Amino acid sequence: MLLSIPLTRHTLGLIGARELKLMKPDAVLINIARGNLIRERDLYEHLRASPRFVAALDVWWVYPRGHGRPFTLPFHELPNIVMTPHVAWAVPEQSGRSLEAALDNVARFLRGEPPRNVIDRDEYAFAEP
């Protein structure tokens, strides 16, 4: 299963113990979006109890400032998880695409056209755990 959706008030904690138990015992859960889409404790307990289940995460639950870990539970002790520091987006072409999209929206604004990819701020108005 691949998670690449935004973290909104509707997707916060989307994957928990119930959803993890519904997956195949040898499933691979990949999260390249946001850590809090998955309930941290539920994933940790599921990985501990299901050694064939694998998680590959390019997300963090906690963003440490200079020290500490990006999670509150000892995921680093588990053999069935791979974690990277939220860098999956960093392919060479991405910065150019982001700049092109931003410049396109500036040009659209100057022409009196609506910008593309506008978000609803209310969807993101929530307090993370």
Model confidence over 50-68: pLDDT tens digits?
999 999 999 988 776 766 6
Q: What pTM was computed for the model?
A: 0.79
Residue 104 lies in a domain: yes
For residues 9 and 36, state if they share a domain: yes
Cβ-Cβ contacts under 8 Å for 55 (sequence gap 6 or more): 28, 29, 30, 31, 43, 47, 80, 81, 82
* Domain span at 33: 2-86
Question: What is the number of domains present in the chain?
Answer: 2
Residue 74 lies in a domain: yes
pLDDT digits (tens, 9 = 90+) for 64-120: 676 667 788 999 999 999 998 878 777 888 888 989 999 999 999 999 999 999 888
